[in-house]
Amino acid sequence: MALEVPELLLDPALKLWVLLPISVVMVLVGILRTYITMLLQPSPKLQSYKLVREQQHLNKLRTFKKNNHVFNYKTEFTNRLNYYNTEYSTTKYLKELPPSDPNDVPNPLTDPNSSDFIMQMVKSNAANYVPQTVIMWWVNFFFKGYVLMKLPFNLTSNFKSMLQSSINTPNLDASYVSSISWYFVNLLGLKSVYSLILNDGDAVNMIMQSQQQQQPVMPQLAGAGPTADKLFKGELEGALLIQFKSSLENVEDRFLQRFEV
């Protein structure tokens, strides 16, 4: 049976010299990081019209597959399908010709676009990881094992791992918060403070996103994933399997059902 632990007497100076500095530093670093990330954002680049063309034709084929119901007759649908089959089987719409050897995989590191992307990824990761590592080291070095405050409400023991990291006291009431836990609480819960200070929803979301280390969806690097000609081929094969059904079929009956009194 667990022993009753008496109320801890916390030095009021802890609030002034530990709790407040950690909170203030976290807020300031968060804001600073936002502006650094904004400065590191690359200026939008021009997209090659050949790439846009290739992607748009690929999307056109996908849209055709998705919305094939707009045609009135099956012949209209099959005529178009035959046309796409002839057009998109060639290399006319590809940005780059497919490699002569299908086993020849291009090296992503020699592609100038990939090196730009990798550089950008390194920069944004550095802007996120470096300040967090430094602050965590700072909190750990100076305030390790500190019990900072007692929350004014009771919590179950499940919260112990969240609120009392770095202090190994199994019987201590869960409402006591350690310094390193306070750092984590700040890291995840400062959104409303940032939105008050920055008054800009996009910037706040950017901070929260970068702090929680959610990486955006990565664009395809050279050599990774199927090439455009294979994508076209795949879409065409899928299109051949479509069971055509026109949305204009029985439109008169649907109309009568809706409007007839």
Binding residues for another protein, rule: CB under 8 A, are 42-43, 45-50, 52-53, 56-57, 59-60, 63-64, 67-72, 76, 112-113, 115-116, 119, 200, 247-248, 251-256, 258-260
Tokens 């059902």 identify what position? 257
Nearer to another protein, 105 or 256 (CB): 256
Count CB neighbours of 120 within 10 A: 13
Nearer to another protein, 24 or 126 (CB): 126
> With b meaning 16 or more CB within 10 Å and e meaning fewer, what string describes 155-193?
eeeeebeebbeebeeeebbbbbbbbbbbbebbbeebeeb
The amino acid occupying position 197 is: I
> Shortest gap between Cβ of 201 and another protein (angstroms)?
9
| Tokens matching residue 73 | 């007759």
For residues 178 and 151, the answer to whether their CB atoms sit within 8 Å is no
| Tokens matching residue 128 | 């996120």
Nearer to another protein, 71 or 146 (CB): 71
Nearer to another protein, 56 or 89 (CB): 56
> Shortest gap between Cβ of 89 and another protein (angstroms)?
17
* C-alpha 30, offset from chain centre: 19
> Shortest gap between Cβ of 193 and another protein (angstroms)?
20
CA distance 218 to 33: 22
Nearer to another protein, 116 or 237 (CB): 116
- Judge residue 30's burial from the number of C-beta atoms within 10 Å of its C-beta, 0-12 exposed, 13-18 middle, 19 or more buried: buried
> Shortest gap between Cβ of 226 and another protein (angstroms)?
21
Number of H helices, E strands in the chain: 11, 2
Q: Is 56 left (phi over 0), alpha (psi -120 to 50) or beta?
A: alpha
> Shortest gap between Cβ of 84 and another protein (angstroms)?
11
> Shortest gap between Cβ of 62 and another protein (angstroms)?
10
> Shortest gap between Cβ of 83 and another protein (angstroms)?
11
